[in-house]
Amino acid sequence: MNNHLLSINDLSREEILNVLGTAAELEKITSGPTKKLPTLRGRTVVNLFFEDSTRTRISFETAAKRLSADVINFSAKGSSVSKGESLKDTAQTLQAMGADAVVIRHGSSGAAQRLADSGWISASVINAGDGTHEHPTQALLDAFTMSKSFPERNGDFTGLKVAIVGDILHSRVARSNVLLLAKLGAEVTLIAPPTLLPVGIDTWPVRTSYDFDESLESFDVVMMLRIQLERMNNFYFPSEREYSRRYGLNENRLLRMKNGSIVMHPGPMNRGLEISAASADSSRSVIVDQVGNGVSTRMAVLYLLLGGVPLSEVSS
Amino acid sequence: MTYTLSGVSLANGEVTNVVISGNSIVSVGAKVDGEVIDCSGLMVLPGFVDLHTHLREPGKEDSETVLTGSRAAVKGGFTAVSAMANTSPVSDTAGVVEQVFRLGKEAGLCEVFPIGAVTVGLQGEKLSEIGAMAESAARVRVFSDDGKCVSDPLVMRRALEYVKAFGGVIAQHAQDPRLTENSQMNEGEVSSRLGLAGWPAVAEEAIIARDILLADHVKSRLHICHLTTKGGVELVRWAKSQGIDVTAEVTPHHLLLTDSLVESYDPVYKVNPPLRTNEDVLALRAGLADGTIDIVATDHAPHPTEDKECEWSAAAFGMLGLETAFSVIAKTMVETGLMTWGQVSQVLSINPARIGGYARQGQEIAQGSLANLTVIDTTAHWTVDRELLASKSRNTPFHGQKLPGKVIHTIFEGVLVVQGSELTGMKHE
């Protein structure tokens, strides 16, 4: 693996499978009464969050702590960073503190790459979501969840039919998932109103559809994306009610999904908008599993990037 | 002072001697007089004229001043620049344009023509005192809200009409504001992947189309700033075929760079209007070669380091241009065989002087003409080093690139302000 994880493009197919395999192994090791491994003892992981995201921050924090790393949470929102202190100054501060890895969440697309390429910092940079660009660890945890949900496939994604539904235009989760699933050979369909599909999407390795009902029965995975209500103000769709009716996962649609298929959502959900409560809580839903899988996947990423003590030594 | 540029080529390839005395050319031919500057192997062209320059003074002197911008201009072979109105305070009164004009005179390196704002504070709502600026010592003829579009069709119509009284021209920054809210880069395949909000070609073309029709309706003169799209070129081509009085410019960077550079997320490539696709680049080159696009203008936009040393969305729009413009044209238009040096002289000097009404510029290289000249080495190559630029800022997208064509001497009103590619320290008093 490279020094950084900025985009799914940084990973080969083999490296993706290695992350998923490592996540499975770590999950097994830490499922016992002792959840903690000494593998990253003495290393420092900084969670640098320019945007609020309690879920992602806690997930990375838990992952780092289970590997015995020291964790510093740097919430830059509302601090000197929001105006005045630059990304550069913050990076240099973290460098001076001896950070080994920086997990960055930022509202600006490309911020993680900027941090990694700038020469301001020598730590590994892990992109925990940059603007509307990518969220690579989310895609990895989603793939980990899918591989566990279809154990009969033995990690083979070829021909797995995945629908991603919602605000593709602004979704970093969708971008990372499209790249990752294409590398693993899954068949991805993006479903959204035309306003929420980016211009240029015809070059992506996906199918697109404006109609959620068209081939709903064919999907193995239906991944719902959070819809942000402020999108309405820019005329992306006329009303919550209409969006929910045309693109929400309601009970009728849930009933039409094929046997063995699963429902995913990166969270946080707008229950009653893009997903009904019944769908979110149904037996098809693996949404809660995604959260747990997030910790194992992020442990795997930290472990592989920071090159900790080999797992064969710590598990014995 | 009398001196001779000896053995110098004209654009047509003829080798001759050019004798300069005072502020004029006194002889073109066999005669040699005064100090002899050996120019064998070099070419002399009328001094370049930039119709679109941001000199940042008053108000943003940390990025450029009229003096540092003038230095950058003459190092790039320009003997005239046009200072855009988005200063602080905005150049929307006779007082501010006269200040810029006076600063240009004091710098004494090239002519500095202030451009007046079309609307008060560039707000697009109320016409600024265009007539007062036209009658001021600066004698402003070009008006622009550059950086912002005069988007209200009624305001644009009135501005076009009003400047007819003194032969002025409105230079439009064509950008529909609603279609480009928060936009960061060209909207297309690259923006879809990078997750950066798109600046669609249609936002430029819709304004160009509207303004062409307005200019035709009121029979006034329209200049389109920094054309960037294939569709825009086609609109201007159509307008000219209809005899509508429209001129257009293209920047050097839009002739060479494409939006794929944004993949680095390096804000040195952040510019407004944005870098477009290769198809657009080729259409712009073709449009410049066939005369649809009249001129090259730099849109030289200096920014301090901290405004580019940050994440993409926080960075300022704009690139330096004065010191690299000529070489980029040599690369994109002459090396490719699309243009001759004579045509380069048209688009970099003669046409912009005509559009701006800059009578002392773009004159024929002949006895009796004013000595505003640029001597270039068409065979030399050089590597752009941002640390060696005369501009106060460093935001060139060409850093590290090897480019053809080098400016050797620049002569302003007879004064050798640049000699051997270095500032001489001399100025026109």
Cα within 13 Å of Cα(B269), Cβ side: 15
Distance CA B412, CA A14 (A): 64
Q: How confident is the model at residue B10 (pLDDT cuts 50, 70, 90)?
A: very high
Nearest CA in chain B to A8: B193
What distance in Å separates the CA atoms of residue A266 and residue A287, rounded to the nearest whole number?
7
Chain A, 21-40: which have a CB under 8 Å from a chain B CB? none
Residue A280 CB contacts under 8 Å (≥ 6 apart), including other chains? A263, A265, A269, A271, A287
Which of A124-128, B254-258, B308-312 is predicted with the least confidence, judged by mean pLDDT? B308-312
A55 is catalytic: yes
**Using CA atoms, how far apart are residues B172 and B235, in angstroms rounded to an integer?**
15
- pLDDT score of A78 more than 60: no
Domains and CATH numbers, chain B: 2-43+369-423 (2.30.40.10), 47-356 (3.20.20.140)
Residues of A in contact with B194 (CB under 8 A): 109-110, 133
How do residues A138-163 score in pLDDT, each as one tens digit? Answer: 999 999 999 999 999 999 999 999 99
What per-residue confidence (pLDDT) applies to A287? 97
- Dihedrals φ, ψ of B376, to 5°? -125, 155
Beta strand B24-29 with A221-224 is: unpaired
Distance CA B250, CA B233 (A): 10
Neighboring chain A residues of B184 at a CB cutoff of 8 Å: 109
Work out the average pLDDT over B6-21: 98
Contact (CB, 8 A) for B258 and B277: yes
Q: What's the average model confidence in pLDDT over A105-114?
A: 95
CB atoms within 10 A of CB B208: 24
CATH of domain A136-290: 3.40.50.1370
pLDDT of A312: 61
pLDDT tens digit sequence for A220-252: 999 999 998 777 778 999 999 999 999 999 999
Q: Residue A316 — very low, low, confident or very high, per pLDDT cuts 50/70/90?
A: very low
pLDDT band at A119 (very low <50, low <70, confident <90, very high): confident
How far does the CA of residue A284 sit from the closest CA of chain B (Å)? 31
R_g of chain B computed on alpha carbons = 20
Taking the CA of residue A249 and the nearest CA in chain B, the distance in Å comes to 26
Tell me which residues of chain B have a C-beta less than 8 Å from any C-beta of chain A.
184, 187-198, 200, 264-266, 306, 309-314
Distance CA A164, CA A185 (A): 15
SS3 at position B81: strand
Confidence of residue A80 (pLDDT cuts 50, 70, 90): very low
Output the pLDDT for position B245. 98
Q: What pLDDT score was predicted for residue B93?
A: 98
Q: pLDDT category, A85, cuts 50, 70, 90?
A: low
- pLDDT digits over B107-145, tens only? 999 999 999 999 999 999 999 999 999 999 999 999 999
Q: How far apart are CA A40 and CA A305, in angstroms?
A: 11
Average pLDDT of every residue of chain B? 98
Distances (CA, A) of A103 to A137, B286, B321: 11, 47, 37
Mean pLDDT of B334-348: 98
Name the band, by pLDDT with cuts 50, 70 and 90, for residue A19: very high
pLDDT at A82 over 60: no
Handedness of CA A136, A137, A138, A140 (dihedral sign): positive
Q: Are B93 and B129 in contact (CB under 8 A)?
A: yes
Q: Are strands B246-250 and B2-9 parallel, antiparallel or unpaired?
A: unpaired
Q: HSE on the CB side for A192, CA within 13 Å?
A: 27
A105 phi and psi, to 5 degrees? -115, 125
Locate CATH 3.40.50.1370 in chain A: 8-135+292-315, 136-290
Q: Which residue of chain A comes nearest to B178, CA vs CA?
A: A234
Residue B242: pLDDT over 50: yes
Q: Do B191 and A198 touch (CB under 8 A)?
A: yes
Cβ pair A27, A144 in contact under 8 A = no
Architecture field, domain A8-135+292-315? 3-Layer(aba) Sandwich (3.40)
